[in-house]
């Protein structure tokens, strides 16, 4: 908590006021706790001196924040038009078969969580996904598993 508080205070120094530092503060709290738990909301609210309802209200607006515990690696697979046309649904079926994971779910061993995304801006290289912060594209039924096996 002390380390998180210190990090948030450093962020605040870069912004005109505490409220403007909310989004990056939520990001570091998520890194610290692994997701935005009640403790994470409280830590951010307390450090920024903002109401917890404000902090939670802002956080729940954005898809980039995790509102429940996640696996060690987060797969964010795009299923928007270009990726859908290029086989994203087939990839979801393959992920279900191989890892027993459904969209919105986490594998039993806690290795992967799967989230379906809207367009991630790589339509010319569809289908595409993020694994944690790593970008992968031109996915197919072979290379998706070669990629994912690098995440233990
Ligand atoms: S539709 Fe998937 S990256 Fe644009």
pLDDT in tens, 21-51: 999 999 999 999 989 999 999 999 999 999 9
| 47 in the same domain as 113 | no
- Percent with pLDDT over 90 in the chain: 92
d(CA 82, CA 66): 26
Q: Within a 10 A sphere around the Cβ of 119, how many other Cβ atoms?
A: 14
| 93 in the same domain as 36 | no
CB-based pocket (< 6 A), ligand 1 = 78, 80-83, 119-123, 126, 128
CA 138, chain centre distance (Å):
21
| 114 in the same domain as 51 | no
- Residues facing residue 57 across a β-bridge: none
* Among 95, 114, 94, residue whose Cα is nearest residue 104: 114
Q: Is 67 within a domain?
A: no
| 136 in the same domain as 101 | yes
* Among 151, 143, 8, residue whose Cα is nearest residue 87: 143
| 99 in the same domain as 130 | yes
The pLDDT of residue 2 is: 85
- At 9, which CATH number? 1.10.10
The pLDDT of residue 88 is: 97
The pLDDT of residue 109 is: 95
| 46 in the same domain as 87 | no
The pLDDT of residue 64 is: 81
Q: Is 54 within a domain?
A: yes
> Average pLDDT of 128-140?
96
| 138 in the same domain as 82 | yes
CA 88, chain centre distance (Å):
19
Q: Which domain holds residue 6?
A: 2-59
Structurally, how many domains does the chain consist of? 2
CA 69 to centroid of ligand 1, rounded, Å:
26
DSSP letter string, 16-79: SSTGGGHHHHHHHHHHHHSS--HHHHHHHHHHHT--HHHHHHHHTT-TTS--S---SEEEEEE-
pLDDT in tens, 105-126: 999 999 999 999 999 999 999 9
Q: Domain ends where: 59, 89, 106?
A: 59
Pocket test for ligand 1, best of 91, 122, 129, 138 (most atoms within 8 A of CB): 122
Q: Is 64 within a domain?
A: no
| 32 in the same domain as 84 | no
């Amino acid at each position: 908590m002390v380390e998180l508080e210190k990090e948030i205070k450093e962020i605040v120094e870069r912004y005109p006021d505490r409220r403007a530092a909310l989004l990056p503060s939520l990001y570091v709290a998520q890194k610290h706790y692994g997701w935005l738990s009640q403790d994470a909301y409280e830590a951010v609210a307390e450090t920024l001196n903002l109401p917890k309802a404000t902090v939670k209200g802002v956080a729940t607006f954005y898809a980039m924040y995790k509102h429940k515990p996640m696996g060690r690696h987060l797969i964010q697979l795009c299923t928007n038009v270009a990726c859908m046309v290029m086989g994203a649904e087939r990839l979801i079926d393959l992920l279900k078969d191989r890892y027993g994971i459904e969209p919105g779910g986490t594998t039993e061993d806690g290795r992967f969580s799967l989230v379906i995304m809207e367009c991630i801006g790589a339509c010319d290289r569809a289908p595409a996904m993020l694994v944690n912060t790593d970008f992968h594209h031109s996915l197919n039924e072979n290379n998706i598993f070669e990629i994912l096996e690098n995440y233990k």
